[in-house]
Amino acid sequence: MKHLRKELWFNTPHRRDYINITPDVEKAVAESGVREGLCLVNAMHITASVYINDAESGLIADYDDWLEKLAPFNPGSDPAKSGYRHNRSGEDNADAHLKRQIMGRQVVIAITDGQLDFGPWEQIYYAEFDGRRRKRALIKIIGE
């Protein structure tokens, strides 16, 4: 069994950002020498996601609006005023923990003939919901 581990580091300019990491994952698959196997990609932080969807800026803006509607940013510390209990602890990122559950922590991708085994429009994104600091994602590949 072959295996490879690699970290990708980010320091996004905004609180929320969406970064296409497909080329980085493709590069890791090539480096691994794995022809048949599985590739796990996950956020190593709990206020960020790794997901697979379209590289289309309109859709990304739709995701951002939709997530803000489902789990609004609200840095207030008073739950009686629709604040989050988590933000009582001095944090302001409760919404980011919620948004991350919608978009997911990880993706698992088949490797076939040494390539990511993708449908026509699949692209891998790192979604940051509490950025402007150094954070990372993990790539782990196993196979033969």
Check: CB of residue 34 under 8 Å from CB of residue 139. no
When binding is defined by CB under 8 A, the residue of 54, 115, 132, 134 that contacts its own copies is 54
**Please, what is the minimum distance in Å from the beta carbon of residue 30 to its own copies?**
18
Strand ranges across the sheet with 123-128: 17-20, 123-128, 48-53
| Segment interacting with its own copies, rule: CB under 8 A, options 12-20, 22-30, 97-105 | 97-105
**Whose Cβ is closer to its own copies: residue 15's or residue 138's?**
138
Measured distance CA(118)–CA(116) in Å, rounded: 6
Residue 50: exposure state from Cβ atoms within 10 A (0-12, 13-18, ≥19): buried
* Contacts to its own copies by CB under 8 A: 1, 3, 5, 36-38, 40, 42-46, 51-54, 56-59, 61-63, 66, 70-71, 84-89, 94, 97-98, 100-110, 112, 117-122, 136, 138, 140, 142-144
